[in-house]
Structure formats: C-alpha cells, structure tokens
Amino acid sequence: MDALLQNFRQLNKSCFIVGASGESGKALLKELIKLKPFSRIVLISRRKLEYEDEELKKLEQRIIDFDKIDEVHQKDFEGFDVGYSCLGTTRGKSGKEGFIKIEHDYTLSVAKASKLGGAKHFHLISAASVDENSHLLYNRVKGQTDREVSELGFERTSIYRPGFLLTDRAERRPMEKVMVAMIKPVTCMFPTAISVPIEFLAKAMVASTISNEPAGVHIIDNKEIHRLGNSL
C-alpha cells in the first residue's frame, strides 16, 4: 500500500469533499491530511468551516447554495480528479423533505456536477441497509441515490455501505448510546459483522482511491471496509 500511495502522489491529483463538517467527512479529511495523496484538497460546503489547525486553515473553501448547483455552481466542481460525497442527515433532524433533499437531491446534484466537471472517480457514503424497494424511507432513498449515482458513468464509482458507525460523535443522535450498548457484545465477537469504526471508513476511502481497482461501479460493504481500513 505504501508503494501505491507514493505512486498516486506523483500524479499530482486534486479532490473535493462535500460534507466535511460531518463525522465521516471529518474523519476522511483527517486521513487525507495525514497521508497526503492529493496535491490539492478543496472543501465545498454551505458555510465556511472554522479550524484551529494551521494546515486545515490553508485549505481552499468554496461556499455554495446546494439548491442552485445546476444553475450557479457548476464551475465550483470543475477541474477535480476525485470527488467525495460525505453528505448525510437523519429524518429526525431534517424532517422527511429535508432528508430526501440532502440524501438524494443534493447528493445527486453534486455527483452530476462532478461528472460534468471532469472527475474520474466519485465516492459516495451510503449504508448497509439500502433497498430501493423498501417501505422504509431511509433505506429507499439511499437505494435510489446509489442507483442514480451509479448510472452517471464515472470511470470509477465507489459506494461505501458501512454498518453501524462507531464514533465519538459531537452531536449525539437519539438512541445512539443505546444502540452502541446493544451491539457491543456482537462487535467484540464479530468485529466486521455489523459495525465499523469511522476511522476505518475514512481509511478505506483513501485505500480505494489509490488502489488499482478496475473501472466500474464498486460496492464496498462493511467487511470490505474493514479490510481496506486495515490495509493502510
């Protein structure tokens, strides 16, 4: 993996991240800063992100209105080799319409703008339980988004379907502590079964980026996330 990382660095590629303020986005950015596979990282978000770390302060930030990506912000997505979508919310936090808007509409708009902008590799964080035919809103919307992003025709599309993400979340979601307590025995006995540390997800995204995997759509499940996360 060290050789792959060194070879990738020599290509002087650039990337953007949407959703860098969320837990997954933060973990990904931390790994990218540490491993430095890219010569240029740009954060695209709805507001400026404040950092204390000097290296993070130097990153270029582009502020956009996600409702107007097609009409106004296409140029903000041009000139990147790789795009990372770490957008996410919950129905409890954003309501039904807000959940659909962020998880589907915004994510798809970002992917389309990335494709038009010339990106060859697009990364999308999804979920293990996706099912476009499900009666559950979360599973159905995630499944629809996965399919529509897959159909855009990137040279490579990496869709991550992690289990329960283990993280010290700054903003605790309802019932999250209960869930952690419930799955802890299973996690101890079967580490790759239903959960994954968020740091492993971030490492897996970097490992996939620098890998020599063939062109096409790659669905990366929880077990594979563990494997890739351990490879860095």
Residues annotated as catalytic are 138, 142
User: Residue written as tokens 């010569």?
Assistant: 39
Extract the tokens encoding 147.
Answer: 């399919």
Q: Are 124 and 111 spatial neighbours (Cβ–Cβ below 8 Å)?
A: yes
CA-based nearest residue to 114, from 204, 202, 30, 44: 44
* Spatial separation of the C-alpha atoms in residues 26 and 42, rounded to whole Å: 13
Residue type for position 142 = K
* Spatial separation of the C-alpha atoms in residues 137 and 90, rounded to whole Å: 10
67 Cβ contact partners less than 8 Å away, ≥ 6 residues apart? none
* Spatial separation of the C-alpha atoms in residues 66 and 18, rounded to whole Å: 10
- DSSP designation for 119: -
216: helix, strand or coil: strand
Helices vs strands, H then E, count in the chain: 10, 9
